[in-house]
Amino acid sequence: MDLLGLPVRWPIIGAPMAGGPSTPALAAAVSNAGGLGFLAGGYRTAEALGDEIHELRALTKAPFGVNVFVPQGPTLDEFGVTAYLAGLRAEADRFGVDLEPMWDDDGWQGKIDLLVDESVPVVSFTFGCPAPSVVARLRDAGSRVVITVTTPAEARMAVDAGSDAVAGQGIEAGGHQGTFDDGIPLESGLGIAALVPAIRRSVDVPVIAAGGLMTGAHVAAVVAMGAVAAQVGTALLRSPESGAHGIHKAALIHSGFDGTAMTRAFSGRRARGLVNRFMRAHPDAPSAYPEINNATRALRRAALQQGDPHTVNLWAGTGYSRAEDRPAGEIITQMGIEFDGLVRAAVHHAGAAITPISAPPRTPR
């Protein structure tokens, strides 16, 4: 089948998961199984990202994508950041680390130049809308451009910038929300079942659906809504190809974690993860990314080194309990076979019901 003009077997995309989970091996496993694998450029230098692209190309001849963070402007709430970090002083002292709130653009220009030179099949963006000139450079280099959106208004902005497609991210999605403006209430936003049809009514480009999708039935459900593909991330977190830390993988099936919620506690930007002690203890983090993210990085690393799952971000979507410890290729193939079966059944039995996408998000207790 055709996906954004690229040959794939299944309408399934492996979500880019920055900070470790996404690896060349994971992206290759997804692409080799007939999906569209992705590398995550966030928190990587341009040089390191280039090395990963070359490694991925050695592992697969199939199409793949690379995701990049759109830079955020320096926070205007310096007082809020200072006050929040003062409240984390005891946490930092316990691990013997410093809290340094620094701004950076995540090596933006170097990564754009790299991606133009590498002419990767798909380049996607999150955290905002790149300038039309950036989109044009990538398209001229032969890349399809996808912009992550969370509202119909954002989708229209993405199309105006020249995007070939949009990834509609529902509030069920694990990790950071791609919202252009993070200054909104934590649990606000559209669920995927409402978001995909709303975006399709607003723009004429292909829509990719993301958020809480774990099974072939979920893929069939979003395709029935008009999406061209489902983007899955949490479903792949426990696979051996995933670079997620062992503590993160274990937490996904640990009885001590019984739900997810949105938080800014770790990064200063809305993100969904397993509810743990740190999230409950610090519910009032201001919107200040990347300053808070950079400030808490040493704290989170120290927590991982000491085996503490309650002082580290455990990003996960609402469907996390279905994540399996199986090769990523097997996971994608099973989803694809289930999807195909449901599509065939629907052809013969018009109006057949499709499994609901996911349970509603839970909030901290």
Query: Per residue in 138-187, pLDDT tens?
Result: 999 999 999 999 999 999 999 999 999 999 999 999 999 999 999 999 98
Q: Which residue has the higher pLDDT, 69 or 360?
A: 69
How confident is the model at residue 321, as a pLDDT? 96
pLDDT level of residue 353 (50, 70, 90 thresholds): very low
pLDDT of residue 357: 54
Give Cα 177 distance to the centre of its chain: 7
Locate 89 and state its tokens: 């002083």
**362 pLDDT band (50/70/90 cuts)?**
very low
Instruction: Please enumerate, as own/partner, the contacts of 113-117 that have beta carbons within 8 Å and a separation of 24 or more.
Output: 113/46, 114/46, 114/49, 114/50, 114/53, 115/66, 115/68, 115/141, 115/143, 116/141, 117/141
Question: What's domain 2-348's superfamily in CATH?
Answer: Aldolase class I (3.20.20.70)
Determine if residue 19 is left, alpha or beta; phi over 0 gives left, psi from -120 to 50 gives alpha, anything else beta: left
Each residue's pLDDT tens digit, 15-61: 999 999 999 999 999 999 999 999 999 999 999 999 999 999 999 99
Q: What is the pLDDT of residue 345?
A: 86
Q: For residue 364, is pLDDT > 80?
A: no
- Tell me what the mean pLDDT of segment 280-301 comes to: 97
pTM: 0.95
- What DSSP element (H or E) covers 246? helix 246-251
